[in-house]
Amino acid sequence: MKQKAAEAAAQRDLARQIAEEDRLLAAHDSGALEAYVTLIRQRVERNWVKPPGAQPGLECEVQVTQIPGGTVAAVRIGRCNGDEAVRRSIEAAVLRASPLPLPDDPTLFERNLLFTFKPEQ
Amino acid sequence: MMRQLAVLPVMLLAVLGTLTAGPVRAELQIQITEGVDKAIPVAVVPFGWQGSGTPPPLDAAAIIAADLARSGRYAPMDRQDMLQRPTSSAEVDFGSWRIQNTDVLVIGRVVETGAGQYDLQFQVFDVLRGQQLLGYRQPATTADFRRSSHRAADIIYEKLTGIRGIFSTRIAYITVVRGSGRIAGKTSFRLVVADADGENPKVMVESPEPLMSPTWSPDGRKLAYVSFEAHRSEIYVQDLRSGTRQRVSARPGVNGAPAWSPDGRRLALALSRQDGNLDVYTLDISAQMPTRLTTSPAIDTEPAWSPDGQLIYFTSDATGGPQIYRVPSDGGKIQRVTFEGSYNARPRVSPDGKQLAVVHNDRGNYRIALFDLARSTIQVLTDGRLDESPSFAPNGEVLIYATREGSRGVLATVSADGRIKQRISAVEGDVREPAWSPFSPN
């Protein structure tokens, strides 16, 4: 039966996702994922030259797609309350940071990254 | 400071009970809370020349590069390091500039449009994205070529930072030249107007007696100043282009510290009148009628207008040491503004009206500080021993002030965040009392 097959597929999908989630949670617990995120964060922060408009209160989301190897393939600015110079500085920070650092555990590699630029001072 | 380390594990987007769970978009979330303070690498390629007559007298690209460098936000590439020198967009190879770690590329051409007339045609590129950010044509003549190049730098700076550039603005200041003035062997006082980088100085007034306290009209066409040429203080208003001048205040006693109102109609000033005690007044320039704002037995002086013209800030020693007070410009209740420290004097209001630049006694040294009007906090910006006369650039990003180098007064600038300090080395003589012009009319 068609519906049954679809249901089974969805169940398998869900199981896969749960397994994925468990694996990431485990990685999180071990600190490996956090270490990976920290590496990326530090590299982007080192490459972000803040323009005058980047003050506390700024919040910009940036969707970044990287390909295996860490090369940035796409940068898309999402919700952002910064001016043109701020947006350009953010895009430049991500592009300059490319290739992004890779995780020690290759299974932690993640194609899609969501950065939130939110300067504290 | 607490840093939020947002390491959120991937969230399941699939919802139980839905049979059409789409592709799950896994995503790592990363918070960026810090950046670096560093100059952005830029290349300003020497401009090309298209014309049959004499090439222009100055190097526009060099002037633009020097302006960008002086802002502290950009680090121009040395010309000898340029592997290519494109002068049109078709010649730009972004890959090559990327390898040299250049983020911003400026190219241009000087095109002759008539005898002694040119167009500065220039383009600005975002090298990382391989995109043109700006294309512009700035007319220029042989006579105003330097100024037009500064204007080009203003336009580029505004495009890159979102802040209006100040490279084509000017500064006024007083120099004291000992023993080499117009009158041999005598000390000479000069009121000088120069470009914001100190180049192109022009003596507007020269006198064997002291000149003091230059202040710009809001349209940038006139200066008011104090002159002792009649062996007592008088206030003059002088047109910069024609040189004609008008004496606007020569009352008995001290006529000092003029400050032009934002609408250009009035001067705030300090007068002592007969009783010898300084008070703050406003003076309607055309009617020449003074209005008294303070009446205390203290010394009230150094008035400065808020940008909306509603308030006048001034220095008063009513409580002992000098502190900043304010009074409505049409008269009214006087309020004390500064309380921190033993000495806060000579206020200047930032263009956004939110801060005062003051001379502040910082552990025995006189330094330029910013006083935040909303938070009542003071931030010391400079590190000299006798820094004086702060004046805001019209975009509020930078202040100019006078400092000591040995026994000589020199001019320096400091960014409003205190990060970037520079000497204006082009200015000679014993220099004091700099005043930054407003944005210039086009």
pLDDT of B6 higher than 50: no
Residue A53 has pLDDT above 90, yes or no: no
B-chain CB neighbours of A93 within 8 Å are: 32, 35
The yes-or-no verdict on residue B364 having pLDDT over 70 is: yes
| Predicted local confidence at residue A45, as pLDDT | 95
- Residues on B contacting A at a C-beta cutoff of 8 Å: 1, 3, 5-7, 9-10, 12, 14, 16, 19-21, 24-38, 40, 103, 126, 128-129, 133, 160-163, 397
Say if the Cβ atoms of A112 and B28 lie within 8 Å. yes
Q: What is the number of other CB atoms lying within 10 angstroms of the CB of residue B20?
A: 8
> For B151-170, what is the mean pLDDT?
95
What is the predicted pLDDT for the residue at A51? 87
DSSP letter, residue B116: T
CA A66 to CA A109: how far, in whole Å? 9
Residue B58 · residue B145 · CB < 8 Å = yes
Residues contacting B134, CB < 8 A, separation 6+: B123, B124, B155, B156, B159
Residues 6+ away with beta carbon under 8 Å from B56: B49, B110, B118, B140, B142, B145
Instruction: Give me the total of CB pairs closer than 8 Å, taking one residue from chain A and one from chain B.
Output: 129
Instruction: Kindly report, residue by residue over B199-221, the tens digit of the pLDDT.
Output: 999 999 999 999 999 999 999 99
Tell which wins on pLDDT, A15 or A46.
Answer: A46
SS3 B374: coil
Q: Which two tokens stand for residue B401?
A: 């002030």
Q: Smallest Cα–Cα separation from B148: which of B111, B179, B185, B173?
A: B111
Q: Report yes or no: B262 and B307 within 8 Å, Cβ to Cβ.
A: yes
d(CA B316, CA B410): 27
Per the CB < 8 A criterion, the answer to whether A96 and A47 are in contact is yes
Shortest distance, CA A73 to any CA of chain B (angstroms): 12
Assign B133 a pLDDT band (cuts: 50, 70, 90). Answer: very high
Residue located via tokens 């600015």: A77
Task: Quote the CA–CA distance of B271 and B274 in Å, as a whole number.
Answer: 9
Alpha-carbon distance A62 to nearest alpha carbon in chain B (angstroms): 10
Positions of E strands within B95-233: 104-114, 117-126, 131-141, 170-177, 188-195, 202-207, 211-216, 222-227
Minimal CA separation from A19 to chain B, in Å = 11
Model confidence band, residue A16 (pLDDT cutoffs 50, 70, 90): confident
Q: How confident is the model at residue B282 (pLDDT cuts 50, 70, 90)?
A: very high
Amino acid letter, B174: I
Burial track B306-333 (b if 16+ CB lie within 10 A, e otherwise):
beebebbbbbbbbeeebbbbbbebeeee
Nearest to B156 by CA among B177, B180, B132, B176: B132
Amino acid identity at B193:
V
Q: What is the pTM of this model?
A: 0.84
Least CB–CB distance from A84: residue in B30, B162, B397? B162
Residue B185 has pLDDT above 50, yes or no: yes
The distance of Cα A77 from the centroid of its chain, to the nearest Å, equals 12
Token pair recorded at residue B235: 């206030």
> Distance (Å) from the C-alpha of residue A3 to the closest C-alpha of chain B?
9
Three-state SS at A85? helix
A82: its two tokens: 């910064």
Mean pLDDT value across residues B155-182: 89
Lowest mean pLDDT, pick from A113-117, B311-315, B318-322: B318-322
Q: What is the pLDDT of residue B183?
A: 58
Cβ contact (<8 Å) for A40 and B38?
Answer: no
